[in-house]
Structure 1
Amino acid sequence: MSARSWWLMIAVGLGILLNPLNSSMISVAMPSLQNVFHLDLTSVSWIIFSFYIASSIAQPVMGKASDLFGRRKIFLSGIIVAFLASLLAPFSPNFSWLIVFRIVQSIGTSMMVGVGMAIIRIHITEKQATALSVLSIFLSGAAAIGPFIGGMLIHWWHWPAIFFVNIPVMLASFLLAWRTIPKDEPQASHTRNMSFRTCMELIDAVGILLFTVGLVALLVGLLSAKSSGHLTLQNVIISLTGIVALGAFVRHELQIKSPFIPLRAFAKYPAMTRVNVEFMLVNILYYSLFFGIPSYLQVVRHVSEFQTGLLMLSLGLCSLVTSPIAGRWIDKSGPRPALLMSAILMTGGSVWLVTLNQTSPVISVCLALAAFGISNGLNNVGMQAALFQSCPKEIIGVASGLFNTSRYLGTILSSLLISIVMGGHFSFIGFRMLGIILTLLALSLVLMSRRRQKVVQLQA
């Protein structure tokens, strides 16, 4: 592989790591943001909801946009958008403005993730597997060390530092990308003489709008009812608006030729549907722990942000170490044994959380973090392999898009679960209840994994 190819990988890698880095650093910042802006847990959770909702919409949209306007332009534009958001977010006059900048940051980083892999596939023709594995290290490594970096930055420089830390990374990525990413011309048939209406139909603007309105309205209705402690007419109307919008979204997606989320693929390939459902459950489990443990340590056990980041490092390191081992295991035995082991580990980690009490050594949470970290390493490889097995090659692009959608939905639902269980403030009783719910979810994954193994054995 040439030196130019390596520099291209580094340029793209520095760009795409910003999305998982910023989505993971925030987990340690939640208690600080609650104190600074005088919010309850339900309200501050929108710093998580907003990022993942925006990412789930922006990534597939930017993939389409790159065909229209060129991948190099979209990647460089993403760096600029994310740079401006990261620069302005620390100066937010209130929490609402912080949410706005967080959404803009998510869109900018999603522009890079959405086209980064495509740039590597197109412009690096030798040792593509090596190139893609290097990018995977950027993605998984950023998510793994995000809580540690966030904890360290908040401990020494307070919460604005988790935005400022992006700036040197973005500058380096922009300069390298400007020099190394080849210019690509957009497809002439798509861009010349295209009307605004045609462009909106191509990206399915109506579907995006219905999906966004439905999801946000439903979350606002549910969380408002939980935060106030009683159901009001306004909560009911907002929730019903969300349900109606999501229903209209489903109907719309089934009728058009180029849907934002191709729902027909779920009905046509049931095995792929099962993989996506399991992946969504896996992410509910993983991110409930990922976002729940930092608040438990800081609010309930009064651990500092720096120490919280150190403890959370065990989650990421176990995931990173496990991933290459999982790859070799899955190459030999297929994904099913690894996914069953992952579900068992998640069950064990969830049970361990339930056994903790208010006098348990704080370092004991590392056992649960290690169990979930190892299971995450198994899932990163196993679920992707199961996806490839469950769908035909001709729709692998669509399948990958649905797969990422399942990831984001699981992450959003994990934040919703924490907000509903905890209410306005994080407590030990709520944390134990969360552990019980996670145990039940993990047990359901064990049963699903065992059932899948039996089906495969009967088919063989």
Structure 2
Amino acid sequence: MTPRRAGIAVAALGVGTLLNPLNSSMIAVALITLRDAFGLDVLTVTWVITAFYLASAAGQPLMGRLGDRFGSRRLFLFGMTVVAVTCVLTPFAPTFWLVCVGRVLLAVGTACAFPGAVALLHPITAQSGLSSPRLLGRLQMANTAGAAVGPVIGGLLVTYLGWQAIFWINVPLAVISFTGVRLFAPVDEARTRQPISKVLVDSDVPGILAFTASLVTLLVFLLGVTDRPRWVLLGLALASAALFAWRELSARTPFIDVRMLVRNRRLLLVYVGFALFNVVYYVVFFGLPQYLEEFGGYRADAVGLLMLPLATLNVLLTPLAARFIERRGIRPAFLLGGAWLVCAALLLTVLSASVMPWAPLVITAMMGVPYCVVSIAMSQALYSSAARESAGVATGIFQTSRYIGAILSTTMLGIAFADGTNPASWLEVTVASTVLAALLLVLVSRWRPSNRTT
């Protein structure tokens, strides 16, 4: 495979991977329009976001496992097909709950992208000679760009074309990604045909169901913990988790090899660290706009501009961070990004004294640096820590860690802002973020590369 062909393949994979973060952020600006269109209350309309988050969190490891089982390229193409068909049909849904079903299917389709893309990087790098940090950096840029431009694109589409357009925009992107991967990505290795009964046994359906049940009940519990905690859901989550652990320890072909995960401390540290990192990330990503609007009195469009340095620096610095990892290694990037994150979290205290425009601009710019460095270092650490034959499911769990971190951040913000969004509550958020950032620095300092890590 020539470097040019590999570059086109990775670009097509990047288009597919940006769809999940794009749709997770783009929908936020359509909530009021959806509420008015279907005559809903505020609490009900948020299920269009919750459904997507839950399906994405539970679907990523499952889609990754299917990719390991049937081929990463096949999985990716299947996901883009699901996205295209779903986004053609969902705008014609007559009820809000069918729109939520469409969001679930969209989450399933986009959940195929990142696990499939990371798994495909193994044959692409092997055949082209390109470095994995550089290619991972391109995928990371696509993910970051999707989340950053989502609210802007969504606002334009909803304003001029209606809420239906936030589904239609996915169709050409999915077609472009499908075509590029179909033409330029390496073909999956040949797999022997097996009876459907053996496929079902080897797929560990009971383990998948127990894992999904434990994750969904836990996340639904966390989403409602600041309002009326449903302790029954927490009990169900713990019971399902125990059942899942028992099943995986006794299964001949487990969905997630728990014993291997416990032995692979490097991979386990990546999962815990990535969840912790995303708590800090989303506390600022979700909490700062709310604080600036409610306490600072800024309009939504002004807040978007004040948050722009965070996303802009994140995107622009990703290639430089990839080269730094390529030359110096993953652990130095961890230490640099973790230490910078602690300092940036401490700077958040400035906003409790002043919300003049210069303050959020400087702080979001400072936050953009560690978010870029730590994020791509986490992706590369995952790539080097996971076994190649299980790269899909390992990447799926990695993405699930992202959603767990995001939901934990909303829980933390709900507790902090329960009595009002003011400098005192913002100071609580700042202290918690600094402590979590310091804990992350301790964790990543314990990560060590293996012999095959570049």
Is the pair's TM-score, using the shorter chain for normalization, greater than 0.5? Answer: yes
Q: Which runs of 5+ in 2 are unaligned?
A: 449-454
Alpha-carbon shift at residue 379 of structure 1 (Å): 0.8
1:251 corresponds to? 246
The structure 1 residue matched to 2:321, chosen from 321, 326, 333, is 326
Opposite residue 112 of structure 2, the aligned amino acid is: M
Higher RCO structure (Cα 8 Å, ≥6 apart): 2
1:146 aligns with 2:150: yes
1:122 aligns with 2:123: yes
SS of structure 1 residue aligned to 2:128: coil
Relative to 1, partners in 2 of residues 1:221 and 1:70: Cα closer, same or farther, differing over 3 Å? closer
Counterpart contact for 1:354–1:436, Cα < 8 Å: no
2:338 corresponds to? 340
Distance 2:70 2:446 in 1: 48
Percent identity of equivalent pairs:
30
Distance 2:218 2:408 in 1: 12
Once the two structures are superposed, what CA deviation does each residue of 1:375-434 show, in whole Å capped at 9, x if it has no partner? Answer: 211212333455578x587898376554333223212322343455556xx9524x9636
Distance 2:298 2:400 in 1: 34
Once the two structures are superposed, what CA deviation does each residue of 1:213-235 show, in whole Å capped at 9, x if it has no partner? Answer: 223334444545644x5x6xxx3
Alpha-carbon shift at residue 306 of structure 1 (Å): 4.4
Distance 2:427 2:36 in 1: 25
SS of structure 2 residue aligned to 1:192: coil
Residue pairs, 1:174-253, within 5 angstroms: 174-181=178-185, 184=188, 186-188=190-192, 191-195=193-197, 198-221=198-221, 223-224=223-224, 226-227=226-227, 235-253=230-248
The structure 2 residue matched to 1:406, chosen from 401, 408, 412, is 401
Distance 1:238 1:347 in 2: 33
Alpha-carbon shift at residue 119 of structure 1 (Å): 3.5
Distance 1:158 1:387 in 2: 39
The structure 2 residue matched to 1:374, chosen from 369, 376, 382, is 369
Opposite residue 217 of structure 2, the aligned amino acid is: A
Once the two structures are superposed, what CA deviation does each residue of 1:294-326 show, in whole Å capped at 9, x if it has no partner? Answer: 455566667555444433332211112333333
Q: Which runs of 5+ in 1 are unaligned?
A: none
Counterpart contact for 1:329–1:338, Cα < 8 Å: no
Distance 2:18 2:61 in 1: 17
Alpha-carbon shift at residue 282 of structure 1 (Å): 1.0
Once the two structures are superposed, what CA deviation does each residue of 1:168-219 show, in whole Å capped at 9, x if it has no partner? Answer: 212323344444446546511xx32241xx3233333222222222233344
Aligned-residue CA RMSD in angstroms? Answer: 3.7
Distance 1:113 1:142 in 2: 13
Q: Compute the TM-score of the two structures, normalised by the length of structure 2.
A: 0.80
Distance 1:366 1:118 in 2: 37
1:164 aligns with 2:159: no
Distance 2:387 2:180 in 1: 34
Residue pairs, 1:255-294, within 5 angstroms: 255-294=250-289
Alpha-carbon shift at residue 83 of structure 1 (Å): 1.7
Distance 1:406 1:101 in 2: 23
Distance 1:402 1:307 in 2: 36
Counterpart contact for 2:60–2:397, Cα < 8 Å: no
Distance 1:152 1:443 in 2: 38
Distance 2:256 2:40 in 1: 38
Q: Compute the TM-score of the two structures, normalised by the length of structure 1.
A: 0.79
Counterpart contact for 2:344–2:366, Cα < 8 Å: yes
SS of structure 2 residue aligned to 1:260: coil
2:421 corresponds to? 428
Distance 2:445 2:8 in 1: 43
2:412 corresponds to? 417
2:431 corresponds to? 439
Alpha-carbon shift at residue 35 of structure 1 (Å): 6.3
**Number of residue pairs aligned between Structure 1 and Structure 2:** 439
Opposite residue 439 of structure 1, the aligned amino acid is: V
Distance 2:6 2:218 in 1: 45
2:451 corresponds to? none
Relative to 1, partners in 2 of residues 1:400 and 1:208: Cα closer, same or farther, differing over 3 Å? same
SS of structure 1 residue aligned to 2:41: coil
Distance 1:372 1:142 in 2: 18
Distance 1:364 1:7 in 2: 40
